[in-house]
Structure 1
């Protein structure tokens, strides 16, 4: 059994996925075609099943199965005997992973050159970060994005040969086997923060913000108190999403933004949210287009 064969790939993927999960990355098994390795439990269900993202408790929901729990990860790989790799979910947690996929497999397309040109055009430097080589000759760059920023998957939006993996997407983990080869680390270092100038290019096209809604004194105060309470009552795993939503709503009231942001950050921190991550989430909401705050 060798690491370069489908038989040996399962064990390699299993071990690498557990190592990534131990570092805080949400992982799940994928097959030789880089797609989820577990069939959907709803494949024979009637209408409505596609909306399930794992609430049913059964495996087979793709990236929504991704976990850092070693016991749950064992269960997923047990249900995926033909897995040859693993995916790493993007956009999760207080320091969400965002992936920049630099394509070189199409003639005349060079994602590496496109990123260098983009950096020069917008005045930013691509920081040293985790880099993974793909079997097709491309590169995956890992970044940490601000929590709550609505970065979605895209292909060629930034520039030719540059794809983005955001919330709802995933990166193929290093050590994964495909018929074309194995994904391997080029630079094994901590993921760097996404350059500030690069984030706006990844977000949806901005729309004009609605005019501030000025609420009379007592009602306005009650509304802000309600938003803080909304954050304090966040269910497990939803704290950052609630913080982002509450900040968006609060900034629309026209009340002093610094005071609002501080109150919401303090509410999140009181529940264990890292202060710096909470501040980044609130800052993202403060400048987000209206549509992304909805």
Structure 2
């Protein structure tokens, strides 16, 4: 029933209880990004290897003229912090590692954040004092633009014109890096079928996936798996 990692995420209390029951010895849990109601975007600020990601984010804010909003912050056992931001429903933010600046990783669609209270050998993830009562703040527009992939050339567009939801999902697949291609396609296909545009978007998703390096057979098998899984969801 389970076993799809972040793709098993749910806001349904009964399903969440079932997930915990399936792993009674788990000491941690993940919170999926990119899904309703908040379409969460995680800004992971690292402090390892001499990096100062907090200062780097401040520098980006100055250069691109945005303010880092007051929002939920989770402190990590390694001394880093996770900022929780809310994204627009019609925008798909991809995951990235140190693309914005050294030590700044982004958790977007298909990614997850370690939930507060999770325990590791190094310590516990905890909500920063004074932020537990805050909702995830909307991601500043200038920062959101930095998080999105560079648009592809017109010849690479593979989405139905006018379908903004479909465009976002196809762009997400096109931006997938090696090692993430199948997972990104599965995530995008699940979202497409959940919103009722799966059949209409199959050709575009398949083309996008083959553009990134998957074979057509692999792409179609992944999309079919997403369709079956979506049909089984409560």
TM-score class, shorter-chain normalisation, is 0.5 to 0.7
TM-score (structure 2 length as normaliser): 0.65
Q: For residue 96 of structure 1, what is the aligned residue in structure 2? A: 39
Following TM superposition, by how much is the alpha carbon of 1:73 offset from its aligned partner in structure 2, in angstroms? 1.5
- Note the 1:271-290 alignment, pairs <5 A: none
- Max Rg structure: 1
Secondary structure at the aligned position of 1:84 is classed as coil
Change in 2 beyond 3 A, CA 1:68/1:113: same
Q: For residue 175 of structure 1, what is the aligned residue in structure 2? A: 117
Could you tell me how far apart the structure 2 residues matched to 1:191 and 1:235 are?
25
Following TM superposition, by how much is the alpha carbon of 1:159 offset from its aligned partner in structure 2, in angstroms? 0.6
User: After TM superposition, what 4+ stretches of structure 1 lie above 6 angstroms from structure 2?
Assistant: none
Secondary structure at the aligned position of 2:41 is classed as strand
Q: Aligned match of 1:147 in 80, 89, 99?
A: 89
Q: For residue 145 of structure 2, what is the aligned residue in structure 1? A: 200
- Verify: 1:87 aligned to 2:37, yes or no: no
Note the residue ranges of structure 2 that are not aligned, 5 or more in a row: 156-160, 167-190, 202-234
Could you tell me how far apart the structure 2 residues matched to 1:237 and 1:207 are?
26
- Indicate if the aligned counterparts of 2:38 and 2:136 stay in contact, CA closer than 8 A: no
Q: For residue 66 of structure 1, what is the aligned residue in structure 2? A: 9
Change in 2 beyond 3 A, CA 1:209/1:146: farther
Following TM superposition, by how much is the alpha carbon of 1:60 offset from its aligned partner in structure 2, in angstroms? 1.3
Note the residue ranges of structure 1 that are not aligned, 5 or more in a row: 1-57, 211-222, 246-294
Q: For residue 181 of structure 2, what is the aligned residue in structure 1? A: none
**RMSD of Structure 2 on Structure 1 (CA):** 2.8
Q: For residue 77 of structure 1, what is the aligned residue in structure 2? A: 20
The number of residues matched between the two structures is 168
- Verify: 1:237 aligned to 2:179, yes or no: no
CA deviations 1:270-290 (Å, max 9, x no partner) are xxxxxxxxxxxxxxxxxxxxx
Following TM superposition, by how much is the alpha carbon of 1:148 offset from its aligned partner in structure 2, in angstroms? 2.7
Secondary structure at the aligned position of 2:62 is classed as helix
